[in-house]
Structure 1
Amino acid sequence: LCVEVSARIGRGLSVEDKMVFALLLARIYADDDDIGSTGMSLEEINAAIVDVFGEDFPWQGRGLNELKKVTEEEIDCSVPLMLCSAPGHDVSGRVEAMAREEHKELASVAMGSAEGFTTAEKFVAAASKRGTWVMLKNCHLCTEWLEDTLVKKLQSLGPGTHKSFRIFITSEINPKLPTGLLRLSDVIVAEAPTGIKASLSRFFSSIAGDRFQSPVRNRLYLVLGWVHAVIQERLRYVPTGWTEKYEITEADATHALDVIDSLVEDATGGRQNIAPEKLPWDAIRNTLCKGIFGGRVTKSTDQQVLDKLVDSVFTSDCFNVNFKLADADNAPALPEGSSKEECFAWIDSLPSYTPPTWIGLDASAEEERRRNIAESVTSKFSQVSIVQKGVA
């Protein structure tokens, strides 16, 4: 029972909350009030869960890694599967890939417009009768429609609904998602992979292929991707990386991409190539530091960190062979070439784990981050009232 409860509920929780829930199950199952009663390290938290349930206990939940099983065995025609993710982490491709592999007909619609609402209602009505699949994408853009229309539509599905019908709903994690829909649905929280490599991969995959026309711009895209990835990675180390958890998203990076294109276009007069020294470096740096990224920053100490980061890489030197992106041992150097293929190959060559020194932090920052997570988990755990043996 505990295995199934953890596998199904855990997939709808954040990483920290998964640990809290698993500790609660461990305390109840083992009938041991000492579990979680004192401050614990991450290693001790994991050890406590393993000691009670064993190494194979699925406390992280059965989620995207077993999407086919969840779809076929754990939801049915009356239960939507909600895939909630961090901004910029689109998981709709996982559903599309599964539909292809299983030879299922999948109708997808991007939400957020009146046209999308009409199309979505038609798709749901038809698929519920025919036994096909529907995916409503980016539903964080239409939370009122979800509550006013979709919830009622799903509640009205009766015995005539085809058993093979499935509805998938993708959304960024958003506090405005209607409670009624969350209660109707099975939820998978898909947190984005961390690290410079993962962030760069997401960013470059979002750039339209026809933008990679100029080696000069491609180089600047790579530097911009690095800056955005460092900003994102430092957010994992609050309050060491930044003093606050600023909301800097993929949309900010996309805006920066447009601004860089515009500034370079003005400087080159439409020419494909220009000497690096003649690029509008001051304008690029000022726009990023005082506008796009700097506009999100509120503390002067954080602004200084941002200025230093941008100034260190947005320079004509970034066109030099083996230009290092950070002042740290084994920090990566930009690739020699700047074609689209070379950019993607360079990103793919990066390690999945990003040492804190690559983002300007001390090597001990990782251990401090782990301590902060452990303190947060044990604090949440202590606030939960456990009903045990009939006594609150």
Structure 2
Amino acid sequence: MITATKGFIAYKLSDYYVQPPSLVYDKIYEKSNEKMPIVFILSPGADPQSDVAKLGEIMGFTGTKFKFVSLGQGMGGVAQQAIETGYQRGHWVMLQNCHLLASWLRTLEKILEQMHKPHKDFRLWLTTMPTSSFPMGILQRSLKVVTEPPEGLKLNIKQSYAKISDADLDGCDHQGFRPLMYVLAFFHAIVQDRRKFGRIGWNVAYDFNESDFKVSARLLNLYLQKSYDKGDALPWETLRYLIGEAMYGGRVTDNYDRRVLTTYLEEYMGDFLFDENVKFFFSRSGYDYDCLLSGNAAAYQGGILGLPINQSPSVFGLHPNAEINYFMLSAKEVYSGLMSMQTGTGGDSGGMSRDDLIEKTATDIQKNIPADELKFLKDTVPTPLEVVLMQEIERFESLVKKMVQNILDLKRAIKGEIGMSQALDELGTAMFNGQLPSAWVKNAPETQKPLGSWMEHFLRRYKQYDDWAKIGDPDVFWLSGFHIPESLLSALVQASCRRRGWALDKSTLYTRVTKIFDRKDVKTKMLDGTYVDGMYLEGARWDVEAGDWLMFLLVLLCFFWSFHCSFFLFFVVVVAAVVVVGVLALVVVVVVVVVGAVCCQSNMFSFRSGVSRRIGSSPFIEFGRLRSETN
């Protein structure tokens, strides 16, 4: 849908409207004045500090004339002193991460209101992540700039080269500097754009930004120039370590993510870049992504313009199915935006008004909220699992109370008995659009479900807690129904360690996927550990018979295999017919072709049914069989 939408916009309007504009900081400066702060609203991966600092150098604001203050606990006084000095002497001041000191922003608002005649050269630059606590008074008087990294491989590389000049490329005498700069830009685009694939891309979302690219470019310049001066070979190991482990790797906290970074650099950096016999390609998936070995900045920028807007996940080294979840989330955002634009204030003669529909939805939810309060009382010292139950019930009841009170207030506001606050209006809008209200999200497990599906999930959670409190520990836990699933896993380890006298820090939990698909087939409760269900495998499929995960296969591939098989058999038989020559031989050929095609098609359908059978339902997972190093 996203690709089709972009294509439609480009066809009806032009490519200009599907490519994000590049920020030109000198034009931003021209639109501002000494009484108008410039507020940068940031997104992950965006950092305007270096660009503003570069503009300051051009405008003559360096050293003491440009003060940077990173806000945090106890930095309010430092920031206030910098602003007072700046507007008196005509300096530039940049306050970074204003969202981290939201309590001081009211003070900043008063400071700006009291600045009647600041110096004409004074400029106040503010950076903040989107936050509701940012004072409206500052926003109304400021010039607002939204910064976000471009989406897509082509646009990421294009942005990197938009700030690279011929002087930058001429700054190193080594002939390998220019192609390695392109390799670095390609690598930077890959690690940034990989984030859109979610957990399939990175286990942890990292904010790689332009400063990582710029510092890595300086390292390339430094080491390649040193290699050129001494006549030494390129220090590939050093470059890969500094870029992959120190610069970009310095942000990485997960070992598997770090391994991905180093693998990219091993694939992109080496003497094979300059092999005249075998041309190097970053990828040949749908397009030949090669590396330009020479040229000026304009030549590289022209080559970048020829890159395709859309690319397969295979370019990132991922399975083609990796983008399915990304497209689903993107489509959901588009639909949510379209729904939020609909006012829905009126209704036709045969339909319900907006308020009537909201009130009906609220009443339906109210009827489905369990009337009986969850309770679990224990006279003796609770076990670790019982502690988890009490904590889960406490969180669930907090959510129930929030829902009941919100619905009562919303229905009263619709009737005009109380005022319609902003929070109640947002609650009603969410119900009207069939979305989960943000007021309830804070008290519920993380989810992407719409309101209707979420209510089913909500009621199933209640049943699990209720059965657990009345009957005791279940044979099978529905892990998706926990507010904090990690607490159950920790409790399992604690319980077994108490029972067996093991050291907690020397015990570990391991898992085994069973061949059980129905709760009724679980006959006995596990002593150490438990059975769980409600888990999903993303980016792979589980082979029940082999007891191992496999790469996910597209069912469409089965058709292609059958077609190629049929065509190959047909080709072989035709050749045989030409050699044999004869009416009888031709008759035999026809029979063989028909039978062969039918056989291949039957193989296709049996393989399809096999895939469907394997991924149609998920088996239970056995959590437990704890091991201890001391036992």
Report the TM-score when normalising by structure 2. Answer: 0.38
Aligned twin of 2:327:
370
Residues 2-21 of structure 1 correspond to what in structure 2 (within 5 A)? none
Residue 171 and residue 205 in structure 1: after superposition, are their counterparts in 2 closer, same or farther (change >3 A)? farther
Match of 1:30 in 2: none
Match of 2:156 in 1: 199
Q: How far 1:304 moved relative to its partner?
A: 2.8
- The residue number in structure 1 matching 2:291 is 334
Q: Hey, what's the Cα distance between the residues in 2 that align with 1:64 and 1:263?
A: 31
Contact 2:160/2:185 (<8 A) preserved: yes
**How far apart in 2 are the matches of 1:369 and 1:252?**
25
Match of 1:305 among 260, 264, 271: 260
Counterpart secondary structure, 2:223 = helix
* 2:40 is equivalent to residue 83 of structure 1: yes
CA-to-partner distance for each residue in 1:165-220, whole Å, 9 max, x for gaps? x9874525377xx9454553145533332112222233334456345343321211
Aligned to 1:230: 190
Counterparts of residues 1-392 of structure 1 (less than 5 Å): 82-86=39-43, 87-88=45-46, 90=48, 111-112=67-68, 139-140=96-97, 147=105, 150-156=108-114, 169-171=125-127, 173=129, 179=133, 181=135, 183-186=137-140, 187=144, 189-207=146-164, 209-212=167-170, 213-214=172-173, 215-269=175-229, 278-320=233-275, 322-372=279-329, 387=410, 390=413
- 1:330 Cα offset (Å): 0.8
- Whether the 8 Å CA contact 2:39–2:126 is kept in 1: the answer is yes
Match of 1:98 in 2: none
Which one-letter code corresponds to 1:153 in the other structure? I
**1:183/1:357 Cα in 2 relative to 1: closer, same or farther (>3 Å)?**
farther
1:335 maps to a residue whose letter is: L
Runs of 5+ unmatched residues, structure 1: 1-40, 44-62, 66-74, 95-106, 128-133
Query: 1:89–1:192: 8 Å Cα contact kept in structure 2?
Result: no
**C-alpha deviation, 1:230, in angstroms:** 0.3
Would the aligned equivalents of 2:313 and 2:322 in 1 still touch at CA under 8 Å?
yes
CA shift digits 1:133-158 (9 cap, x unpaired):
x9865644898798497433322257
Question: Closer, same or farther in 2 for the Cα pair 1:372/1:203, shift >3 Å?
Answer: same
| Distance across 2 between alignment mates of 1:361 and 1:316 | 25
Matched pairs, number: 308
Root-mean-square deviation over aligned CA pairs: 5.4
Contact 2:98 2:105 in 1 (8 A): no
Q: Give the secondary structure class of the aligned counterpart of 2:299.
A: helix
Counterparts of 2:128 and 2:160, CA distance in 1: 16
Per-residue CA distance 1:81-109 (angstroms, 9 max, x = gap): 63313344649999xxxxxxxxxxxx998
The answer on whether the counterparts of 2:285 and 2:312 sit within 8 Å (CA) in structure 1 is no
Q: Contact between 2:40 and 2:146, CA under 8 Å: does it hold in 1?
A: yes
Deviations 1:58-92 (A, max 9, x none): xxxxx999xxxxxxxxx999875633133446499
Mapped contact 2:37–2:124 kept (Cα < 8 A): yes
Letter in 2 for 1:345: G
8 Å Cα contact 2:67/2:82 also seen in 1: no
SS at match of 1:306: helix
Distance 1:179 1:110, change over 3 A: farther
CA–CA distance in 2 between the matches of 1:251 and 1:342?
24
Asked whether the 8 Å contact 1:356–1:366 carries over to 2, the reply is yes
**1:195 and 1:231, CA in 2 relative to 1: closer, same or farther beyond 3 A?**
same
Q: Secondary structure at the match of 1:325?
A: strand
Whole-angstrom CA distance in 2 between matches of 1:287 and 1:91: 23
Amino acid at match of 1:171: T
Paired AA for residue 269 in structure 2: F
Cα pair distance change 1:364/1:144, threshold 3 Å = closer
> What is the aligned-residue identity percentage?
18
Q: Residues 316-368 of structure 1: CA distance to partner in whole angstroms, max 9, x if unpaired?
A: 22234652112523141112424333222222332333432222222232221
Question: Could you tell me the TM-score, scaled by structure 1's length?
Answer: 0.58
CA–CA distance in structure 1, aligned partners of residues 156 and 80 of structure 2? 31
SS in 2 for 1:185: helix
Q: Name the SS for the 2:240 alignment partner.
A: helix
**What is the alpha-carbon distance in structure 1 between the residues aligned to residue 243 and residue 129 of structure 2?**
26
Equivalent-residue separation in structure 1 for 2:50 and 2:223 (angstroms) = 34
Residue 130 of structure 1 is matched in structure 2 by none
Which secondary structure state, in structure 2, belongs to the residue aligned with residue 279 of structure 1?
coil
**Could you list the runs of 5+ residues in structure 2 that have no partner in the other structure?**
4-20, 24-31, 53-60, 71-77, 341-360, 362-398, 415-423, 425-631
Which residue type is aligned with residue 369 of structure 1?
A: Y
- Output the amino acid matched with 1:325: F
Q: What is the CA distance between 1:390 and its match in structure 2?
A: 0.8
CA contact (8 A) 2:47 2:209 kept: no
Check conservation: 1:219, 1:319, Cα contact below 8 A: no
Q: What letter is aligned with 1:173?
A: M
User: Amino acid of the residue matched to residue 269 of structure 1?
Assistant: D
> Contact 1:83/1:168 (CA < 8 Å) preserved in 2?
no
